[in-house]
Amino acid sequence: GQNIDQPTEMTATEGAIVQINCTYQTSGFNGLFWYQQHAGEAPTFLSYNVLDGLEEKGRFSSFLSRSKGYSYLLLKELQMKDSASYLCVVMDSNYQLIWGAGTKLIIKP
Amino acid sequence: GAVVSQHPSWVICKSGTSVKIECRSLDFQATTMFWYRQFPKQSLMLMATSNEGSKATYEQGVEKDKFLINHASLTLSTLTVTSAHPEDSSFYICSASPGDRESYEQYFGPGTRLTVT
């Protein structure tokens, strides 16, 4: 079966750095996405990785290792507004999106 | 750019009635549109994928006669919840993709909160 694992919840301190991990087992691979979702709102796109390595975009970076079926989202200089759920999503060989359950990130002052 | 709108933002209806939700891509042509449902504190669940001019592809367990999807143009898709029941109360989100296989980024609408009484 297809499976995506990410921690259910994480807590971090304002101004710090946090890394949210995601491991996946899917039927083929055509890219991995990270989305941010605030409570009661639709997800917003953060990043897309299809090749191994690190993609940096401002305070957010995303890393992919296809051989390990592993990705992480790195958030630096955390702000209170970063409190949200972070969704790891993999596109399989049929271009279908497989959604992780999301990681709820709680930022404390 | 890449804005997707949904209408209405929220709707309350009585059990047994039907509700139509519209999803529009405002500044691009959406080859493919997706409809998701999200229950509280859960991840998004894909309901169906629709391509302009063809029948929607429904995910397993989603009743196609209950959730009618029409993708009549490259900028508009509609989801009609027929004979709604309280268990259909949920947050319905659409997304649209330009369909460029080099960039499968999906653009999400703001969502529609449906409450069936």
Looking at residue B102, its pLDDT comes to 45
A42 contact residues in B (CB cutoff 8 A): 93, 108-111
* Residues of chain B contacting A45 with CB distance shorter than 8 Å: 105-108
Output the CA–CA distances (angstroms, integers) from residue B22 to A13, A14, A35, in the order listed.
40, 39, 23
Residue pair A43/B112 in contact by the 8 Å Cβ criterion:
no
Q: How far apart are CA A109 and CA A48, in angstroms?
A: 30
Reading the block at residue B89, the tokens are 């109360």
- Residue A34's SS3 state is strand
What confidence tens digit (pLDDT) does each residue in A34-67 have?
Answer: 999 887 777 888 988 999 999 998 999 999 999 9
For the cut 70, the answer to whether the pLDDT of residue B1 exceeds it is no
Q: Which residues of B56-78 are buried (b: 16+ CB within 10 A; e: fewer)?
A: bebeeebeeeebbbebeebbbbb
Would you tell me how many other CB atoms lie within 10 Å of the CB of residue B106? 23
- How many CB atoms lie under 10 A from the CB of residue A77? 11
Residue-averaged pLDDT of chain B: 87
Q: Give residue-wise pLDDT tens across range A59-97.
A: 999 999 999 999 999 999 999 999 999 999 998 887 677
User: Sorting pLDDT into bands at 50, 70 and 90, what band is B104?
Assistant: low
Distance CA A98, CA B104 (A): 13
Residue of A2, A8, A32, A37 to mutate for B, most B C-beta atoms under 10 A: A37
Contact residues, chain A to chain B, C-beta under 8 Å: 30-31, 33, 40-45, 48, 87, 91, 95-97, 99-102
